[in-house]
Structure 1
Amino acid sequence: MGLRALAGAALLAALGLNAQADPLRIATYGPDLSRDGPGLLLRDLTRTGKKADPQIAAVVQVIAENRPDILLLTDFDWDHDGRALTAFADLLAKAGLDYPHRFAARPNAGMATDLDIDGDGRTRGAADAQGFGEFTGQGGMAILSRHPIGPVIDHSGFLWRDLPGQIMPKLPPEVTAALRLSSSAHWDATITIAGKPLHLLAMAATPPVFDGPEDMNGRRNHDELAFWLHHLPDAPFVLAGMLNVDPADGDGRADALARIMAHVTDPEPRSAGGAAAKGGVNDGQKGDPALDTGDWPDDKPPGNLRADYVLPKKGLKILDAGVLWPEAGPLAEAAQTASAHRLVWVDLDWP
């Protein structure tokens, strides 16, 4: 580099500018930070020393390895005062990750309805909540960001019956009139980076299993994703979260995913660990195992699947993408200890 170039670089540094901006890394992760009762996650997050939770330590290790600028957490218990999220952010700060901007709102998971949604003759069960959950906030979502968040449009109160073209099963009239579409949440969060807004379309859909021949969960999973076909912003966006549908394998209805793909670029993030996962159910699957993001038991269905996605709007420049799932080593062990889900990330050239 010549003297003039060096002087120019020094001037840019003095002005707080970069000749070439760093990529913007956006990630989604289902860290399995949900517990069996309210307050238990906060308890586990604040334990120290010999009582520290090794699963939580593994989650922190995975995120610290990836260092995303914007991180959507799914399957993270919500509490009214956000104490669990604050405690988790404090643990990340100790690992060198500072997320000054955070957002979480009450999810539909565990929100009581006083209705017999699952038809078992009783109310107030986990399956009778707006979204499956033993208590309010179980398995919610949260956004951690280095950049300002807001405004956030929370679509979680949207009724399933009101979705155009919905495939809702036949339910009692009082259930149809009250049941929300989101099993957890649908958020349109505006995040401002370098003065320009990016919409993070965040969601966590119900797994398309654990039901009967009416296929209520399969239908709901489909419609939760189809919701965005009617609510895509006319602005740069990234659709991210636990979609819980694999385009080639598993029990999900993949046609809504196929229609979404017409509006986004699929960077097809890959991992060595996923590619190396062989045996059992996995050997009979049709999809590319390197794209899998969920590591479930190989001896019974569904096996490993692609369940978690980061999908930028068409036209956004993608620099890189991946699934944090090493084939072997300490980080592979941490990923396995942390969760059945693997962290998925995409780097954008922004602005």
Structure 2
Amino acid sequence: MPSPHRLSKLATTTVIGVLAAGALAASPASAATHADLGDVLFQPQPLRVATYNLSLNRGAAGQLVTDLSTGGNAQAQTVAEVIQRTDPDVILLNEFDYVADGRAVDLFRSNYLQVSQHGATPVTYPYAFVAPSNTGVPSGFDLNNDGTVGGGDDALGFGLFEGQYGMVVLSKYPIRTDHVRTFQKFLWKNMPGALLPDDPSTAAPADWFTPAELDVVRLSSKSHWDVPIRVGKHTIHVLAAHPTPPTFDGPEDRNGRRNHDEIRFWADYIAPSKSRYIVDDAGRRGGLRLTDSFVILGDQNADPVDGDSVDAAIDQLLDSRRLQDPRPTSAGAPEAAGLQGGANATHLGNPKYDTADFADTAPGNLRADYVLPSLALRVVRSGVFWPTQSDPLSRLTGVFPFPSSDHRLVWVDVRVPRFGQ
């Protein structure tokens, strides 16, 4: 019998049916027409799409494989249970170290997700996509201008080893592997109007990086992926990324500017009039068509009003006419903000939208993680897995030091068109 704490997609469908019945009683003709159109145009079962920065990163290459080789790692058990309780159909995992042969992903699926955690129903993802990350890849240059070359700060993306803080897409539906596009190697300088960092000690503009450095500096701190997934007869493009935190730099704000442009990449990619400059790792130019369905997923490291990101960084997506923002909420986030105080007390944003439990001194809790569907997908409901302290499942989120992650899983249920590309 399913756990009473497991968020049921079947229950979502039932609620929709009840609401539809009420509408029929109020206005039979109009409600019936709407219901008929829904039945004709959309697949009946909602698709749950999620993003989760689950902090399954480790301090040394190979350590994640070691930790996942048995079913006994406490943190892996906890984040796996979070996924089991929410049961997404498609999920992006941020901060999951990249292993070239996919061994780490296979171990996480077989030893954790497919094994009941604390009575939760196991979940199976037959399909997975992993690819290299810029994190930890040596640049050969002194990118942080500290006088030495080497270390995470001089890598193409911050990381102590190649692949640290990588990504994974897991799916219950087939991934169209032959149509996946990656943008790991796209150079930052090739984005028109890029917010390249400026050395404040000189009069020259945007001169933090030398011309030679600009020839190797990539836009993506990890990568940007377009992962098409086939749901029935319809294809949804999962647009996955994890922009760098807009901190850990100096007055040049190189990380804040990079975060802004990493977010902008998807805003341009989904707009055919703006995407012509984009070239993928296979040399193919351009972005999505107006007829393509998509969901933008990931820890964007940017809050609409609070935190350290460049002004309006995330608004580049939230203001797009090509997508919708379901604005997922939880009951646990505002409770946490009230109990923790500190920077949270000065925030302008409503804490019910927070998805990350950061330091109370600065920046406080923020909305950092997003699931943003295109207009072609009908949003049913959404949420953030952040239980209140009175909920028994709050043991999965906890307080610092967190048993799982400082981020929360964010999910959105959508109805998918019956037909399409």
Common topology (TM > 0.5): yes
Q: Show the 5 A alignment for 1:49-198.
A: 52-90=72-110, 91-95=112-116, 96-150=122-176, 151-169=179-197, 170=207, 171-198=209-236
Deviation at 1:254, TM superposition (A): 3.9
Of 224, 229, 241, 2:298 maps to 241
> How many angstroms apart in 2 are the aligned matches of 1:257 and 1:65?
29
Deviation at 1:304, TM superposition (A): 0.1
Residue 276 of structure 1 corresponds to which residue in structure 2?
Answer: 335
Residue 405 of structure 2 corresponds to which residue in structure 1?
Answer: 339
Listed as ranges, the gaps of 5+ residues in structure 2 are 1-41, 117-121, 198-206, 271-287
Deviation at 1:256, TM superposition (A): 3.6
Residue 382 of structure 2 corresponds to which residue in structure 1?
Answer: 321
Amino acid corresponding to residue 141 of structure 2 in structure 1: L
Residue 296 of structure 1 corresponds to which residue in structure 2?
Answer: 358
Deviation at 1:53, TM superposition (A): 1.9
Secondary structure of the residue aligned to 2:158 is: coil
CA contact (8 A) 1:246 1:254 kept: no
> How many angstroms apart in 2 are the aligned matches of 1:255 and 1:97?
37
> How many angstroms apart in 1 are the aligned matches of 2:311 and 2:184?
22
CA contact (8 A) 2:186 2:220 kept: yes
> How many angstroms apart in 2 are the aligned matches of 1:330 and 1:213?
44
> How many angstroms apart in 2 are the aligned matches of 1:127 and 1:45?
28
Residue 252 of structure 1 corresponds to which residue in structure 2?
Answer: 309
Of 52, 66, 72, 1:43 maps to 66
Of 218, 229, 243, 2:256 maps to 218
Once the two structures are superposed, what CA deviation does each residue of 1:91-134 show, in whole Å capped at 9, x if it has no partner? 21123211010000011111112111111122221111110000
> How many angstroms apart in 1 are the aligned matches of 2:106 and 2:99?
11
> How many angstroms apart in 2 are the aligned matches of 1:313 and 1:20?
16
Amino acid corresponding to residue 309 of structure 1 in structure 2: Y
> How many angstroms apart in 2 are the aligned matches of 1:78 and 1:189?
17
Residue 204 of structure 2 corresponds to which residue in structure 1?
Answer: none
> How many angstroms apart in 2 are the aligned matches of 1:139 and 1:37?
11
Q: Name segments (4+ residues, structure 1) moved above 4 Å.
A: none
Secondary structure of the residue aligned to 2:114 is: helix
> How many angstroms apart in 1 are the aligned matches of 2:44 and 2:311?
37
> How many angstroms apart in 2 are the aligned matches of 1:166 and 1:322?
34
> How many angstroms apart in 2 are the aligned matches of 1:164 and 1:260?
17
**Alignment CA distance shift 1:254-1:193 (3 Å):** farther
CA contact (8 A) 1:29 1:72 kept: yes
CA RMSD of aligned residues (A): 1.3
Q: Show the 5 A alignment for 1:224-235.
A: 224-232=262-270, 233-234=288-289, 235=292
Amino acid corresponding to residue 187 of structure 2 in structure 1: L
CA contact (8 A) 2:357 2:364 kept: yes
Compute the TM-score of the two structures, normalised by the length of structure 1.
Answer: 0.91
Deviation at 1:20, TM superposition (A): 7.0
Residue 38 of structure 2 corresponds to which residue in structure 1?
Answer: none
> How many angstroms apart in 1 are the aligned matches of 2:192 and 2:267?
10
Moved more, 283-292 or 332-341: 332-341
Residue 349 of structure 2 corresponds to which residue in structure 1?
Answer: 287
Secondary structure of the residue aligned to 1:71 is: strand
Once the two structures are superposed, what CA deviation does each residue of 1:29-87 show, in whole Å capped at 9, x if it has no partner? 00000000011011111234xxx221111101100000000000001000111111110
Residue 280 of structure 2 corresponds to which residue in structure 1?
Answer: none
Deviation at 1:296, TM superposition (A): 1.4
Amino acid corresponding to residue 294 of structure 2 in structure 1: F
Residue 23 of structure 1 corresponds to which residue in structure 2?
Answer: 46
> How many angstroms apart in 1 are the aligned matches of 2:264 and 2:378?
25
CA contact (8 A) 1:245 1:254 kept: no
Listed as ranges, the gaps of 5+ residues in structure 1 are 1-18
Matched-pair identity in %: 44
Secondary structure of the residue aligned to 2:54 is: coil
Once the two structures are superposed, what CA deviation does each residue of 1:302-348 show, in whole Å capped at 9, x if it has no partner? 00000000001124210000000001233212123100000000000
**Alignment CA distance shift 1:310-1:135 (3 Å):** same
Amino acid corresponding to residue 343 of structure 2 in structure 1: V
CA contact (8 A) 2:43 2:415 kept: no
Secondary structure of the residue aligned to 1:190 is: strand
> How many angstroms apart in 2 are the aligned matches of 1:188 and 1:195?
18
CA contact (8 A) 2:328 2:411 kept: yes
> How many angstroms apart in 1 are the aligned matches of 2:302 and 2:316?
13
